[in-house]
A and B are shown apart, each in its own frame.
Chain A
Amino acid sequence: MKAEFTIPVVTNIPVTPSVVDGAMAHSRPFVAKSDHQTALGFPEELVEDWHDRALAKMKELLGKYRSLQVFMDSCVKCGACTDKCHYFLGTSDPKNMPVARQDLMRKVYRRYFTFAGKYFPWLVGAVDLTREVLEDWYSYYHQCSECRRCSVYCPYGIDTAEITMAGREILASVGIGQKYSNEIIGKVFKIGNNLGLPQPAMADTLLDLEEEIKEDIDVDVRLPLDDADAEVLLVSPSADFFAEPHVDGLIGYAKVFHQAGIPWTLSSHASEAANFGLFIGNDESMQKVATRIREAALELGVKRIIVGECGHAWRVAYSYWNTLIGPFDFLDPNYPAPQHICEATYDLVQAGALKFDKARNDDKVVTFHDSCNVARGSRMGNMPGGQFIIPRALIRASCNHFVDMREDSIREGTYCCGGGGGLLTDDLTELRVKGALPRVQALHEVIEQYHVTHMAAICAICKSQFTKVLPFYSLGMGMIISVHQLVGDALVLGSEQ
């Protein structure tokens, strides 16, 4: 793969680079156009009194989020996080060290909101809010995928994601939003999904998929849309409807429901699990996007809501939905609300309702990439860490050959794919390729050692990101697959028995 930047060298062991000041200062995503901004209630372009409005917004957010207020004060600059961010490891830019990214805001916080910074700015590194500082914010708050890896290692639990979200919210509120995220949120408001796929197109796509499955395995597996008789509303990332390898995951869910005899449906009103409101730190957008799902569930009269393979969507669903759009007292209390597709499938496996022919996946040696938002922002099952156990149990149930990657690169220590948090856009290709380095390095180890052929994931962003960046590292884009593709391929369907 040719690139306009230097592709990092994949080493045999993980390496922490020396800092290279300003190495990624040029990286910034496209700025939102005026209509992307106004759709979300933000000003069209940089407002004249941006300085005062940014500080007023910061003050508002400090009073709104305890996380932000406590995190601004608590950091002691111990350095524990400095070698934990995949973007620092991949770019060497010191402002991609979590503490330095936080400090971009903290130095302004100190200048205007603390005694030491007001009277002794030079002592505590406090600075005035200038255009240069604002530009730095735009650049480096869009070099954080909000993956929370740093928060695992911080002795005070400081989560840079919270600060990045606040930074983006302040930027958007003075007129400098990010095009990619804001445009997508606008599409969800208007049409119902990130891709702007209208109902007729969705219906066609699903029919095509049904035919494809029929041709493939000669079973009538249905992919219902807006079916009022369904018990389960499946909310999936819209990439599942057509993008590779996502669509094979969607087929996998359909096969599971088919075999278990669970009447399910997709919804054209809530045809999107993703919620980029989280990424831009805007609660109003997040709530508005999530509300569509509650509306669809009530309208269809379903008993359960199941969320497809999407990392941040699962974080929003698991951690935020009950607060944003709960309570879910209209759903069947025998099932968790919401439930992850992996939990649903796992319960069926445990109950003996599914039969697998693992040999069908014998051409693969599989490893599993824990997606950051699932790993560090949510849970599955009823025990802490179920989010690590359950997807692996599904892979083991459907494959004979599974190995894990290096311990500090999986589970709670998993590296982000490099494209999360609203950065999955072509104007950030360099950042995405470089940010994938730590994951690719750990993958490289298991390829060398165990001849791993595939990496399974349960996140639409991870899947799209790896499809795009693996070729830069001379790895096949087909390496990345859905967990439910493995499940679906190995699942023995009724009529085959």
Chain B
Amino acid sequence: MSTVTYLYAGAFYLAALILVLGVARKIMIYARTPVPFKIPTTPAPTTMPGVVGRMFRETVFFESLFKASKWTWIFGWVFHFAMLIVLIRHLRYFSEPVWMWVAVISPFGVYAGWAMLFGLSGLWGRRFLVDRVRYISAPSDHLMLVLLLAIVSTGLMMKYVWHTDIVAVKAFFLGLMRFDPTPLPSDPLLLTHLGLVVILMAVFPVSKLLHVPGVFFSPTRNQVDNPREFRHQGIRSS
């Protein structure tokens, strides 16, 4: 087998390890850090089911962002939702036979790729066009969008311009999961696409992508508004 195959197999194992251990470490830190007081942003739900509803609306519909800025919401929500569809489509490279629900959703994944492009472009555009957002953008904020845009673009190009040997790619990943990799096609577009994904996975736990676990640990959102009824003593989050 080629060096490229070994290189990519190794890189994926390493990136997966960094991703899982890195995020797990952060989750442990968040979970162990006390919440000394009741600080939900009110009005807040007064029951736990109410809080579950609030968190659901926050993470599925981006409720607060919707209140804040319709443009950012459109771009941000379309990007995230489309990414979910695209990720589901990609599960067909990791399952054999392909799970029924993945097969059903897969065709939408192609459109979702374009939707991601739309959302990411809008979000990037804001970093240049809105003076306030330009002010707060660090190089890493631009680079994160560039990284995602490059992943989406190379993916779409493989769909529409230069096809790769997708059967061999699937065999590679199925093999990877059995710790028995098979040869990976070495066309540049595929290698670029996969290389960027490796980078994305590896930077996840050391970048602002930590907003994914973070949102679930946000005391202003996940606390029940019941300080008079229950004496909050600071250890648990509710």
Q: Which residues of A contact B (CB under 8 A)?
A: 16, 18-19, 62-67, 69-71, 73-84, 94, 97, 99-100, 103, 114-116, 122-125, 148, 151-159, 162, 283, 318-320, 322-323, 326-327, 336-338, 375-379, 382-385, 387-388, 412-413
Selecting from B7-15, B90-98, B219-227, the interface stretch reads B219-227
Q: Judging by beta carbons under 8 Å apart, are A19 and B221 in contact?
A: no
Complex CA–CA separation, A125 to B207 (angstroms): 12
The reply to whether A80 and B39 form a contact with Cβ atoms under 8 Å apart is no
Contact A323 B227 (CB under 8 A): yes
* Nearest CB in chain A: distance from B236 CB, A: 10
Q: Are B214 and A376 in contact (CB under 8 A)?
A: no
Residues of chain A lying within 8 A (CB to CB) of residue B26: 73
Determine whether the beta carbon of B138 is less than 8 Å from that of A125: yes
Interface hit among B42-50, B101-109, B154-162, B177-185: B42-50
The smallest beta-carbon distance between B219 and chain A, in angstroms, is 5
* Residues of chain A within 8 A of B130, CB atoms compared: 79, 82
B218 nearest CB neighbor, chain A only:
A157
Residues of B within 8 A of A74 (CB): 208, 210-211, 214-215, 218
Q: For the complex, is B113 an interface residue (Cβ under 8 Å from A)?
A: no
Interface-side segment among B57-65, B163-171, B189-197: B57-65
Beyond A323-B227, A336-B228, A384-B46, whether A159 also contacts B41 by CB under 8 A is yes
8 A Cβ contacts from B118-148 to A: 123, 126, 130-133, 135-141, 143
A82 touches B35 (CB 8 A): no
- Are A151 and B41 interface neighbours, CB within 8 A? yes
Across-interface contacts of A65 in B (CB, < 8 A): 33-36
Size of B's binding interface in residues, CB under 8 A: 62
| Contact between chains at B219 and A66 (CB < 8 Å) | yes
Please tell me if the beta carbons of A384 and B138 are within 8 angstroms of each other in the complex.
no
Interface code B200-238, partner A: CB below 8 Å = 1, 0 otherwise?
A: 000100111011001101111100010110111110010
A69 contacts B36, C-beta separation under 8 Å: no
Q: List 10 A-B contacts (CB under 8 A).
A: A83-B132, A97-B135, A153-B67, A318-B227, A320-B38, A320-B227, A327-B231, A337-B228, A379-B43, A385-B43
Q: Which chain A residues border B225 with CB–CB below 8 Å?
A: 379, 384
What chain B residues lie within 8 Å of A162 (beta carbons)?
39
Is B81 an interface residue, CB under 8 A from the partner?
no
B69 in the interface, Cβ–Cβ < 8 Å? Answer: yes
Q: How many Å from the CB of A164 to the closest CB on chain B?
A: 13
**A153-B214 contact given A77-B208, A384-B225, CB 8 Å threshold:** no
Known interface pairs A156-B214, A412-B43; A66-B220 also in contact (CB < 8 Å): no
Given contact pairs A67-B218, A124-B140, A323-B232, a sample of 6 additional A-B residue pairs in the complex whose CB atoms are under 8 Å apart: A74-B215, A125-B138, A322-B231, A375-B42, A384-B44, A384-B225
Quick check: is B72 within 8 A (CB to CB) of the other chain? yes
Task: Please judge, given known A-B contacts A153-B68, A323-B36, A323-B234, whether A77 and B45 are in contact too, CB under 8 Å.
Answer: no
Q: Do the beta carbons of A73 and B43 come within 8 Å of each other?
A: no
Q: Which residue of B lies closest to A323 (CB)?
A: B232
Minimum distance in angstroms from A30 CB to a CB of chain B = 29
Q: How far is the CA of A76 from the CA of B68 in the complex (A)?
A: 15
Nearest CB in chain B: distance from A399 CB, A: 24
Q: Which residues of B contact A76 (CB under 8 A)?
A: 141, 208, 211
- Cα of A379 to Cα of B29 in the assembled complex, Å: 31
Q: A484 to B51, alpha carbons, bound, how many Å?
A: 34
Judging by beta carbons under 8 Å apart, are B234 and A77 in contact?
no
* A70 close to B37 (CB less than 8 A): no
Contact assessment for B208 and A156 in the assembled complex, using a CB-CB cutoff below 8 Å: no
Question: Which residue in chain B gives the minimum CB-CB distance to A154?
Answer: B64
Cβ distance B131 to chain A, nearest Cβ, rounded Å: 5
B43: which A residues are within 8 A, CB to CB? 379, 384-385, 387-388, 412
Closest chain A residue to B65, Cβ basis: A155
- Contact partners of A148 in chain B: CB under 8 A: 41
**In the complex with contacts A64-B34, A84-B68, A69-B132 CB distance below 8 A:** no
- A84-B68, A323-B234, A384-B225 as given contacts; A79 in contact with B211, CB under 8 Å: no
B41 adjacent to A78 (CB under 8 Å): no
Of chain A, the residue at the smallest CB distance from B55 is A157
Indicate whether B114 reaches chain A with its CB closer than 8 angstroms. no
